[in-house]
Amino acid sequence: MAAKIAFATSSEFPNLTDDDCLAVKALGMHGLTVDPVLWDSRQFDWSSYAAVIIRSCWDYHHRPAEFEAWLGHQEDQGVFLWNPPELVRWNMDKTYLSDLQQQGVRVLPSVWLARGARVQLAHLMAEKGWEQVVVKPLISAGAKRTILVPRDDALARQAEFAESLQQNSLIVQAFASEIQTRGEWSILFFDGQYSHAVLKQPQAEDFRVQDHFGGTAKAASPSAALIAQAGEILALLDADLLYARVDAIERNGSLYLMELELIEPYLYFEFHPQAPLRFADALLKHLAVKE
């Protein structure tokens, strides 16, 4: 199959990440050519590609309205976009976690707060019995503007919390200590099928697992039970997904969802040599259905 694919990226990664280049190589083995294109390119004809894959658009949360307009433009042009625009819109705002919780998914205990709400963080934590919380905007990525607040510090950090709440809608989550002990799972699926996983851990005395905060990742194999639980979460969406990443912690043998990454997740190809090939096979299957 000879076709041209666009990987939508951002100005920080105009030539794609090293990890995505592994996917490009795998797609090239099937005769597919991949062009990196900045998602916010003006007057660009995205419909000239057989498919557009959202990849390192890691600045979208700074301009969510513009990104949503871009999604709408793809729809208007009839672009074959992955993941589907309606799922991307839903996944942009962390209230999707509430939606999944209402469907029976185990989510870390959370409270969703509308922008401008007047809330005393110390009172909220006392009411919920939470010793530590993670606070982050409902539209965010990469742990940016994310803070960890112990109960003893809640009063001292009220002004910071209130200011953030005036600027953004927030999610306040009970902190999962498993992140610092056992680590956080990222479980990857292509075309609804389990592909691979990594276990991420923060650096000492931190809580953020992202590498730009000193976090590390390693190849790991979750139990069949955890893989099945992750798959059950995706099955609730009843959607045709090219890729999905389930970020979660394990607690007493159960998976507790932290984030469901459907927009532009890092896919950790570097840790599993066969993973780029599985990704390529999944995309080829979608292209065949299109034809």
- Judge if 102 and 189 occupy the same domain: yes
- Judge if 56 and 139 occupy the same domain: no
- Judge if 194 and 245 occupy the same domain: yes
β 32-38/3-9 pair status? parallel
β 51-54/81-82 pair status? parallel
Q: Any idea what the CATH number is for the domain that residue 37 is in?
A: 3.40.50.20
Q: In this predicted structure, what is the pLDDT of residue 215?
A: 77
71: which residues sit within 8 A by CB, 6+ positions away? 81, 85, 88, 89
What the block records as the tokens of 150 is 């112990």
pLDDT tens digits, 42-80: 889 999 999 999 999 999 999 999 999 999 999 999 999
Q: In this predicted structure, what is the pLDDT of residue 202?
A: 81
pLDDT tens digits, 246-286: 999 999 999 999 999 999 999 999 999 999 999 999 999 99
Domain assignment present for residue 262? The answer is yes
* Reported pTM: 0.93
Per-residue pLDDT band at 288 (split at 50, 70, 90): confident
Total domains present in the chain: 3
- Judge if 218 and 140 occupy the same domain: no
Could you tell me the residue range of the domain that residue 56 belongs to? Answer: 3-83+280-290
pLDDT tens digits, 160-207: 999 999 999 999 999 999 998 899 999 999 999 999 999 998 877 666
- Judge if 101 and 189 occupy the same domain: yes
What the block records as the tokens of 197 is 């996983």
- Judge if 130 and 195 occupy the same domain: no
- Judge if 194 and 260 occupy the same domain: yes
Q: In this predicted structure, what is the pLDDT of residue 260?
A: 97
Q: In this predicted structure, what is the pLDDT of residue 213?
A: 65
Domain assignment present for residue 90? The answer is no
Q: Any idea what the CATH number is for the domain that residue 190 is in?
A: 3.30.470.20
Per-residue pLDDT band at 122 (split at 50, 70, 90): very high
Domain assignment present for residue 214? The answer is yes
Domain assignment present for residue 229? The answer is yes
- Judge if 50 and 68 occupy the same domain: yes
Q: Any idea what the CATH number is for the domain that residue 165 is in?
A: 3.30.1490
Asked which of 73-87, 112-126, 211-225 is least confident by mean pLDDT, the reply is 211-225
- Judge if 101 and 198 occupy the same domain: yes
- Judge if 33 and 149 occupy the same domain: no
Q: Give the mean pLDDT of 129-146.
A: 84
Count CA atoms within 13 Å of residue 191 on its CB side: 14
Domain assignment present for residue 89? The answer is no
- Judge if 25 and 153 occupy the same domain: no
Q: In this predicted structure, what is the pLDDT of residue 2?
A: 64
